Every structure is written in structure tokens, then in C-alpha cells.
Structure 1
Amino acid sequence: MGRGDLTDAEWERLQPFLPVGNGRCGRWRDHRQVIDGILHRVRTGVQWRDLPERFGPWKTVYERHRLWSADGTWEHLLHQVQAAADAAGGDRLGHLGGFHDRARASARGRRPHHPAAGSCAKGGRSGGTPGRNTVAESVRPPGGGGARGEGLGRSRGGLTSKLHLSVDGRCRPLSLIVTGGQRADCTQFQAVLDRIRVPRIGLGRPRKKPDSLAADKAYSNGPCREYLRRRGIRHTIPEKSDSRAARLRKGSRGGRPPAFDEERHKKRNTVERAINKLKQSRAVATRYDKRGYVYLGTATVAALGIWLRT
């Protein structure tokens, strides 16, 4: 067994939820061998063609990853592992954040290299303004061209993507969304929380919200706080200085200051530690995938590995 391959215990946790029967082109190749190949590529960022021979044909490994990214298999596996942890009494506290990842650049660093940015170069202008994509477009299956829907956008760092995520108190990702790099964190606040879905073992509805939530000042605005109050989610978000000044100027009409638990907010670095764990996977830290839904699948595989090994 190579470093980074599934252990017997991890394989036993995944095996019951894997697709069974025939694949689109005949009988499935051994799932464990293929998943080990996908984990190797996500961890090292190696090109698909350069995968070691012990993982089988590289094209089989790539096609399995692409197919499971499109049909939601990776997300389903992540939900099932989360359900097992929740049944065992997992941490139900939530944290939100996001980070940029540079689309793979050429040697001189001037123009984006084709593996990640080819869709933008092919139809960026005809397909719409790069990065102006909705959440639905950022995770849609194959179809359409250009940067629109591929999670690529212009920012100060050049052509970048941004991964928005929520994590639990043990630095394990709960939900993931890919957008263009210029997207502000607060614009994806509701979308990230709406994608939390932890099934229950046995009867009962899936868990769709954390018991409480901590976030930084990027999410300190009226719509975010109103959304949390409407869903009954206790939260700790510091108030921005300009918002506090505006409230004080209004006097009694400004209302009460938002509740803030300083001790609870000290654990806010949980999301930064989770981001560091994700960035240990080179294919997540630097985006090599051209299509947005494939890159989201790559990030989901990295998150699945964190859940299996934490």
C-alpha cells in the first residue's frame, strides 16, 4: 500500500455506499484501485497521464473522477461519512470562510496555462463576463463553454477561483462551493449554509444547520444576520466599525448591538486550519482542472479524505 492510499478501515467505511452494477462502458474496474489513484492525484497534483501504473489505466481513473464529480457521487460519499460521524456524536458547531486558488499559470506567469484556464480562453468573451456565475452554474454538469459556469474570475492575483466552505469544530468541511476569485465571501453565505446536508442513520430528516455558527466580519451585514435569525441559528459575528458608528449615530432608533460571544469567537481560526488541511492537497491549492464541476469534485475528494482520517 502506498502513502495516501485507503487503509482497510477507511475502505470498509466507503465500500457500502459505492455504485454497484455495470458502468457506462461495461463492468466497473476495482473501485479501491481507482479511488487510490484519484487520491494520489489530488494529493500530489500530478498530471493524469503520469499516474503510477499500479493504479491501472490513467484514463479509467480520470473518467471515474469526472463522472462521479458530475453525478454527485463524491458529494454523496461525503454526506454518508458525515452521517456516521454525526451519529457518533460529532461536533455540530459551524464556521465559514473562503480562500483563493490560482489557476495554473504558464512558466512566465503572464498567461494562464490551458489545463485550468482553457475554457476561459476558448469562449470567455462570447460566454459572458468571467466569474459572473451563480452557484447553480458553478456546479453544473458538462455543457456550455467559456468561463461562465466554470468558477473562474479576475482578481488582483489574475485568473483565480475561490472556494467557499463551512466546517465543523474539528476542522472538517461540511459544504463547498466554487466561484470566481473576485466573489466576496458574504455573497455565498446563504448558498454555503443551504448546502449543508448531513443524513441521519435510520429514520429522521437530514441535519441542515449547525447548532451555532462563528464567522468573521466579512459576513457582518443585515441580510446575513436576518437569514440566521430566520433559521434559528445562534451565531457569533463581530460588528464592523462603520456599522457600529452608524448604529450609534441613530441613537435609540439604531437598535441594540448584536450579541457577541468573545470566548466562542476565539475558535474562529478553526476554518483557517481547515483551509490549511485542504491546501495540503496540491490539486486543491492550485487549480489544474479546466471544468468547474471537476474542480469541485477534486475539493470534495480532499474533504472526504479529511473526514476519513480525522
Structure 2
Amino acid sequence: MGNRQSRPWIVSDELWSLIEPLQPEPAPKLAEGRPRLPDRQTLCGILFVLHAGIQWEYLPQELGFGSGMSCWRRLAAWNEAGVWDRLHAVLLKELRSKDKLDWSRAVIDSSRVRAARPGPKSGPSPVDRARPGSKRHLIVDGQGIPLAVSLTGGNRNDITQLLPLLDKIPPVAGTVGRPRRKPDALLADRGYDHDKYRRLLWQRGIRPVIAERGQPHGTGLDIFRYVVERTISWLHGFRRLRIRWERRDDTHEAFLGLAICLITHRHVQRLCQRQ
């Protein structure tokens, strides 16, 4: 199939072995017609759109992906079935089983993205002349491995998503004992500076390390916080995520969840290469 690096939409045997058991049973066909395209080929088409940033209707038919509409429907069905959430949990479990998740601290941040058209979970961006936009809120472990992501309107205050994002971290098994789902400390910039949320974090057994407004820069947090900014830049490396083209929020969230799985899978691959 050619060089995997130059064709990132090709699904490797190793990745497919993780995804295939998570696939929902296909709905029975109500009428005769074209045979259903294999899931793996359809996923390659979805990944092509994610990496190339093209619209569904421009998906190259000659590469065997099927129609853009078929890929879109399959992406929506898999997202509704929770495939990407379960795949992410499987990958995190693999990392924890090898003691490769850094629970000593987590880092939270957000990034804005312009929306091509208004829709659910979009809003006037305060930094883009009130044009419609969305925010992606991300929490990572101490190395930058994604733990959870969420989507809101571009005018949503970061601090409102602090607790919901913590709650979205899945319980991660992989070792003897109870699954883990919270870090020892949470690092954040001045956008999360509020005494109420510091108290709530302490109540959860999480030590807040949040920059304070009015204090000079150079407090030392940046040497730990850069990992979340790096992961956000990895998300922007998927061209389809640079602009929110979809009016439907669930479609954009499906792409976002898939991208988070791909980033996490890269960490698993690096782990395997070192062993």
C-alpha cells in the first residue's frame, strides 16, 4: 500500500485490530443494491478527509473509499455507538499497563476554531470580530497524552469547562486496583483563575496549580504547560480540524474524537518501538 508516512489515511493492521472489535453490528439492508463497503476501506476514506481537509463530495473515488456520503454516514454511526470513546479508553489502558501515563499532573487549555457556518456549539468569537466559532477544550497528562476533549461555542468561558472536562476523563484500568481517572495536580493558565474552582479541585483531591491574574509572567508553569499547547498543535495538524466546516456539532465532535485516538495511538506506537 505504499509508504505509511506519505499516506496517513491507510489503516494499519495493528490499528484495525483495535478498532474492529468495537464496531457496531451493521443495520440490515432493507432493499437490494450495492454491497456494503468494508468498514476498513470506509475508515480509510474518513481518515483521508480528516488529513486532507477536503469536503465529503470531493473524496477520490479511484482510491476505493466509496462515496463521501457513505463515509459520512459510517462516521456518524460509529460516533453515535461510542467507538472513538471506547478506542481511546483501550489505548489509555495500554499506556497505563506499561506505566506510561503521568498522573502526577494534568494540564488543561482550549483553542478557538472558526466555524464556516453557525450551528450548535458555535458562538460569536470575542477575538474574531464576533464571527461564528467554536472552542475545543483539552486536558492532557503530564506528557501531553490526551485524556479528554470537548466542544463548546467560541464565546464560552474556559473555566466553565474545567469540571466537565475532568468528569469526562474515562476510568483507566491496566494495573491491579481500581481504575484511575483523576490526576494528582491540575495545571492551568490565568483563564482558570477562580478561588471557587480551586476549592472544588481540592475537594476532589486534586491540587490546583493555576496562574493568578495580575501576577507577572515567568512563574515557571510554562515548562509544564507547553505539553497541552503541543497537543493542540497536533490537532491542528489534521487539516479538517483547522476550520469547523460542519454545521452539525456531532460530526465535528466525531472528527475530534477520532483525532484524539490517533494522537494517543502514536504514543502507544512509540512505546512499542522502544521495547
Shorter-normalised TM range: 0.7 to 0.9
Partner in structure 1 of residue 50 of structure 2: 42
Match of 2:18 among 8, 13, 16: 13
CA distance in 2, matches of 1:85, 1:28: 35
Give SS of 1:241's match: coil
Deviation at 1:52, TM superposition (A): 2.1
Task: Indicate the percent of aligned positions where both proteins have the same amino acid.
Answer: 31
TM-score when normalising by structure 1? 0.74
Hey, what does 2:26 align to over in structure 1?
22
Quote the residue 1:227 is aligned against.
Answer: 200
3-state SS of the aligned residue for 2:246? coil
Which residue pairs with 2:148 in the alignment? 175
Task: Select 1:62's aligned residue among 69, 72, 79.
Answer: 72
Distance 1:31 1:305 in 2: 17
Partner of 1:280: 237
Decide whether the 8 Å contact of 1:22 with 1:28 is kept in 2.
no
Letter in 2 for 1:59: M
In 2, the alpha carbon distance for the partners of 1:24 and 1:170 equals 44
Letter in 1 for 2:125: S
How far, CA to CA, are the matches of 2:66 and 2:56 in structure 1?
Answer: 11
SS at match of 1:188: helix
Q: Does 1:196 align with 2:196?
A: no
For structure 1, the residue ranges without an aligned partner over 5 or more in a row are: 105-116, 121-146, 245-261
Q: 1:308 to 1:18 in 2, by over 3 A?
A: same
| Higher relative contact order (CA closer than 8 Å, sequence separation 6+) | 1
The CA distance in 2 between the partners of 1:181 and 1:269, in whole Å, is: 22
Partner SS for 1:162? strand
The alpha-carbon distance between structure 1 residues 171 and 287, as it changes in their structure 2 partners (threshold 3 A), is: same
Look up the equivalent residue of 2:22 and give its one-letter code. F
SS of equivalent residue, structure 1 residue 226:
helix
Deviates more, 1:175-184 or 1:29-38: 29-38
Structure 1 residue matching 2:136: 3-state secondary structure = strand
What residue is the counterpart of 2:273 in the other structure?
Answer: none
* Matching residue within 90, 114, 117 for 1:80: 90
Over the aligned positions, Cα root-mean-square deviation in angstroms equals 2.4
Q: What letter corresponds to residue 194 of structure 1 in structure 2?
A: D
Deviations 1:17-41 (A, max 9, x none): 333x333547964222111111111
Residue 99 of structure 1 is aligned with which of 107, 111, 124?
Answer: 111
The amino acid across from 2:80 in the alignment is A
The number of residues matched between the two structures is 250
Structure 1 residue 265: Cα displacement: 5.2
Q: Is the 8 A contact 1:153 1:182 kept in 2?
A: yes
* CA–CA separation in structure 1 for the residues paired with 2:251 and 2:179: 26
- Deviation at 1:167? 1.1
